[in-house]
Structure 1
């Protein structure tokens, strides 16, 4: 079972999910960063042999989050599609079928750098596209990590991971990172890399995703 952890972020409750997303229980809104749908199709179109299935895996986690939290809206913090080749028939078909299952959801995309290269989301998704920062409740929703006066900024883009070491062994785990007035969510997509933040997040709170658990490795800034 996917676990979640409720934390105080800028004086507001935010539910951090091991499915690599965050949920605002007051606004009933899911925040998803860097889904990168169709990235595997992009690689194959460019001659790089990678397995299929990342879109299905990513959508399955999104389905599980929706079943768990019953949101009224989902806001994507940029990079919904990876590149123009993401508009492959199989990828768009899977997204269209997913949208039919969740026709009542409001979908919003805060445009990211990959979205500008990939082109807009398919019409079948009925998704609003907005510029950053997009303000809702106490949040300023962005793609690029930044600070926004008068709000707590949540962003993506970075794909943060945190290295956890034990003696000679170590592992890089997706993580949420929070400063006093800004935070970054882990990449949601099943086929994404990661940027290690151990050195430049020393004054931040860090919550890692280990399997189906969310754990605080640094609940308070150092």
Structure 2
């Protein structure tokens, strides 16, 4: 089984790179996509009396800046849940978000997620789902005919092994029937949810992307593992 820092994903001739940093790079459009940063999550919990260390945001910011420095995107687009809640929107976090486009070296755009509802972010409009080229970009899964739906919200993870040795690894998950690719959560303080049966998975482990093929279906359909990047027939 091969592993690398990225994996190619091909859809109707449009090439994407699934990055080991839990992001998607679209070289044809110069677009860097991430989802579910959940900035301010520790502070949100702290405001409710639950102690969490306040160091996760720094690692998340640094990882995003490193990706922008490497790929030099035309724009960075967050597929929802940039922040965790209004409770975590401290003055310090607001200042960092205002400075982020300049630090990235390009515009920052946000498709509004459920965690941004009711929040106002200076200089950063919450946009509805939108099309960029062949991609339909949304927060929650939102298949759209004729487009590849890229989204977040689910925080997909794969369960590997069993018993005491079982691992929960973040992953990219592709539903070939819905033509939908779900990104793993980019934030450092996020959990995850197992993927439905039949989705094609690419595991993320220590900065590497591992093609894993589909989760099994109870219907008895067989799949190869690992599998190549999906190609749409017809």
TM-score by length of 2: 0.84
Which is greater in Rg? 2
Equivalenced residue count is: 212
Displacement of 1:138 in angstroms is 0.6
Confirm or deny: 8 A CA contact 2:156 2:170 kept in the other structure: yes
Question: Which runs of structure 1 show a deviation greater than 6 angstroms over 4 or more consecutive aligned residues?
Answer: none
Displacement of 1:99 in angstroms is 3.4
Confirm or deny: 8 A CA contact 1:81 1:121 kept in the other structure: no
Which stretch shows the higher mean deviation, 179-188 or 2-11?
Answer: 2-11
Aligned to 1:131: 128
Instruction: Give yes or no for the alignment of 1:214 onto 2:209.
Output: yes
The equivalences for 1:66-77 within 5 A come to 66-77=68-79
Aligned to 1:182: 180
Aligned to 1:95: 97
Displacement of 1:122 in angstroms is 2.6
Confirm or deny: 8 A CA contact 2:23 2:33 kept in the other structure: yes
Which of 9, 19, 26 pairs up with 1:17?
Answer: 19
Q: Measure the CA separation in 2 of the matches of 1:187 and 1:149.
A: 25
> Which stretches in structure 1 are left out of the alignment for 5+ residues?
none
- Alignment RMSD, CA only? 1.9
Confirm or deny: 8 A CA contact 1:107 1:128 kept in the other structure: no
Q: Measure the CA separation in 2 of the matches of 1:168 and 1:11.
A: 42
Aligned to 2:200: 205
Q: Measure the CA separation in 2 of the matches of 1:168 and 1:35.
A: 29
Q: Measure the CA separation in 1 of the matches of 2:163 and 2:86.
A: 44
> Cα distance 1:57–1:144, how it changes in 2: closer, same or farther (>3 A)?
same
Cα deviation, 1:143-175, whole Å, max 9, x if unaligned, reads 111210111101100000001116861100000
The equivalences for 1:21-60 within 5 A come to 21-60=23-62
Report the 3-state secondary structure (helix = DSSP H, G, I; strand = E; otherwise coil) of the residue aligned with 1:60: helix
Confirm or deny: 8 A CA contact 1:153 1:182 kept in the other structure: yes
Aligned to 1:158: 154
Confirm or deny: 8 A CA contact 1:177 1:201 kept in the other structure: no
Confirm or deny: 8 A CA contact 2:170 2:203 kept in the other structure: yes
> Cα distance 1:10–1:44, how it changes in 2: closer, same or farther (>3 A)?
farther
Cα deviation, 1:181-215, whole Å, max 9, x if unaligned, reads 11100011111110011xx232x210010111011
> Which stretches in structure 2 are left out of the alignment for 5+ residues?
216-221, 224-234
